[in-house]
């Protein structure tokens, strides 16, 4: 006999509607995972969702022969802005395969390597800004890192310098925040309320984002270039399998999707700065490695492969920050078979069409895998120690064919920015007693975290 899946008590009629804060959904799920363990469920507004928070169950759900990405809830809501893009396409939509085959070569490691100097250039802009501040400065690093991310994303992929690292906040940043936050909240409200009260928020944000993307296309049309970047590919390439090109609307869809997808990276780096402040010995070790590998010269792409400790530091940051907080899974339908789906060798069972969500805040802190799971230890993410970890705790970029197509871009951005900040900047905690608390939507980020920055003392 299977074991019942734990569920918070809830209230009559409304179920568990008060157990998840729609303004901070993922922190609520983290709290529930800490209380209920490897699996739990909630029921609200007539819907049931099952959440998985252990490495073993996460690995089982990542078996692509049994499970696939579930496009539902907030992911369906964001289709208003990006339609059937790579992130939001349903399993049966041809558009996903066409877009993936067109885009993937431009986001392969060798293509990303060609933009290394541009990422360094953008990061240098941020470091120069920080090093020029008054010694008594107090900054929220996430704000500037978010600007840096948009700057680097648009420059490397679409060939446009926004100059938004220093200066007014770019409208795209607010629009991404408004659209993703609204997408998360809409499934928790009655549809009539969404239409009458909140519909304008998503429409306004969508208009801003799509206008921004359209302007990038127009600028390239009016100023042709021999640059063969992602923008050129979206506008000109054809799917090698079907011979189809992307429509004008689909080009806009994918342009908008890219910075939304990469918005997890600055959240991870901001959390990483906190972890470095809490563990000053890791800064010493990283700087020793950087001084040995890079020395006093410029930071080059060939250095990255030799930064083993920095790579471990980035992985450990991804593990503990859970900047991309989870992903949705559903059983692959079996025509004519509606029998329950068994998990953990039959310990649990769920309906044949049950939506499940992997909560990485639980999976990545699984005490069955990690000794002292809350401790920040980059060495466990290096070499043989990393290779021996189960696959279920390495899902920072999702899983399988629907994992983040920009994972190589994200990895290079994370390594470059973390390495250069460690190498060239000293951080001081404004509040040494600060403890990580996060909020966010399709990403999660530190709340009210501020630091002082100054040039590295040598």
- Taking Cα atoms as reference points, which of 364, 168, 175, 399 lies closest to residue 268? 364
What is the 3-class SS of 46-70, one letter each residue? CEEEEEECCHHHHHHHCCCCCEEEC
Q: What is the pTM of this model?
A: 0.96
- Taking Cα atoms as reference points, which of 82, 62, 67, 61 lies closest to residue 333? 67
Tell the residue number behind the tokens 């009539």, with chain if given. Answer: 192
Percent of the chain with pLDDT over 70: 100
Q: What average pLDDT does the segment 224-247 reach?
A: 97
How far apart CA 16 and CA 35 sit, in angstroms, is 15
Tell the residue number behind the tokens 């969702």, with chain if given. Answer: 49
Q: Which CATH number fits domain 25-455: 1.10.630.10, 1.20.1270.10, 1.20.1370.10, 3.40.50.300?
A: 1.10.630.10
**Mean pLDDT, the chain, whole residue set:** 96
Q: Please determine, for residue 401, whether its predicted confidence score (pLDDT) is greater than 90.
A: yes
**Helix axis angle, 407-424 relative to 280-293, nearest 10°?**
100
- Taking Cα atoms as reference points, which of 320, 260, 271 lies closest to residue 446? 271
Q: Please determine, for residue 167, whether its predicted confidence score (pLDDT) is greater than 90.
A: no
Q: Exposure of 117 by Cβ count < 10 A (0-12 exposed, 13-18 middle, 19+ buried)?
A: middle
404 is in an annotated binding site: yes
Assign residue 398 a region: left if phi > 0, alpha if psi is -120 to 50, beta otherwise?
left
Q: Count CA within 13 A, CB hemisphere, residue 290.
A: 24
Q: What average pLDDT does the segment 315-337 reach?
A: 96
At residue 396, the pLDDT reads 95
At residue 246, the pLDDT reads 98
At residue 360, the pLDDT reads 98
Q: Please determine, for residue 313, whether its predicted confidence score (pLDDT) is greater than 90.
A: yes
Q: What average pLDDT does the segment 176-185 reach?
A: 94
Buried b (16+ CB within 10 A) or exposed e, 16-36: beebbeeebbbbbbbebbeeb
Six token digits for residue 59: 């690995």
Q: What average pLDDT does the segment 372-400 reach?
A: 97
Report residue 446: phi and psi, to 5°.
-65, 140
Tell the residue number behind the tokens 């029921």, with chain if given. Answer: 43
Cβ–Cβ under 8 Å, residues 376 and 275: yes
At residue 147, the pLDDT reads 98
Percent of the chain with pLDDT over 90: 92
Tell the residue number behind the tokens 């648009």, with chain if given. Answer: 154
Q: Please determine, for residue 104, whether its predicted confidence score (pLDDT) is greater than 90.
A: yes
How far apart CA 154 and CA 171 sit, in angstroms, is 14
Q: What average pLDDT does the segment 168-177 reach?
A: 96
At residue 330, the pLDDT reads 97
């Amino acid at each position: 006999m299977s074991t019942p899946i734990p569920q918070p008590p809830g209230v009559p009629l409304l179920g568990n509607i008060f157990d998840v804060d729609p303004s901070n959904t993922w922190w609520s799920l983290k709290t529930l995972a800490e209380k209920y363990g490897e699996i739990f469920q909630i029921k609200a507004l007539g819907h049931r969702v099952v959440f998985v928070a252990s490495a073993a169950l996460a690995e089982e759900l990542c078996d692509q022969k049994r499970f696939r990405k579930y496009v539902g809830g907030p992911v369906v809501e964001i289709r208003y802005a990006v339609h059937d893009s790579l992130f939001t396409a349903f399993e049966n939509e041809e558009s996903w395969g066409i877009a993936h085959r067109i885009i993937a070569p431009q986001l392969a490691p060798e293509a990303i390597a060609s933009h290394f100097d541009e990422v360094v250039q953008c990061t240098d802009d941020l470091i120069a800004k920080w090093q020029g501040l008054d010694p008594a400065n107090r900054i929220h690093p996430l704000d500037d890192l978010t600007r840096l991310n948009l700057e680097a994303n648009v420059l490397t992929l679409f060939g446009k310098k926004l100059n938004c690292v220093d200066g007014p906040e770019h409208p795209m940043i607010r629009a991404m925040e408004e659209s993703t936050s609204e997408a998360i909240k809409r499934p928790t409200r009655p549809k009539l309320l969404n239409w009458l009260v909140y519909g304008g928020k998503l429409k306004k944000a969508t208009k801003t984002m799509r206008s921004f993307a359209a302007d990038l296309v127009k600028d390239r049309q009016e100023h042709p270039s021999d640059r063969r970047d992602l923008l050129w590919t979206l506008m000109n390439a054809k799917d090698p399998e079907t011979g189809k090109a992307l429509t004008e609307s689909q080009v806009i869809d994918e342009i908008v999707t890219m910075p939304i997808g990469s918005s997890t990276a600055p959240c991870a780096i901001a959390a990483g700065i906190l972890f470095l402040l809490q563990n000053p010995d890791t800064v010493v070790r990283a700087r020793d490695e950087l001084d040995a590998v890079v020395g006093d010269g410029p930071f080059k792409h060939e250095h990255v492969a030799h930064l083993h400790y920095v790579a471990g530091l980035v992985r450990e940051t991804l593990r503990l920050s859970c900047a991309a907080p989870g992903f949705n899974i559903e059983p692959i339908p079996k025509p004519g078979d509606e029998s329950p789906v068994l998990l953990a060798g039959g310990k649990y069972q769920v309906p044949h069409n049950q939506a499940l969500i992997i909560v990485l805040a639980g999976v990545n802190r699984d005490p069955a895998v990690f000794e002292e799971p809350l401790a920040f230890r980059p060495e466990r993410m290096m070499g043989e120690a990393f290779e021996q970890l189960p696959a279920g705790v390495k899902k920072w970029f999702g899983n399988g064919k629907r994992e983040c197509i920009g994972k190589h871009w994200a990895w290079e951005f994370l390594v470059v920015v973390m390495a250069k900040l460690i190498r060239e900047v000293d951080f001081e905690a404004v509040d040494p007693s600060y403890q990580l608390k996060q909020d966010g939507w399709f990403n999660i980020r530190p709340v009210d975290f501020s630091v002082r920055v100054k040039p590295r003392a040598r």
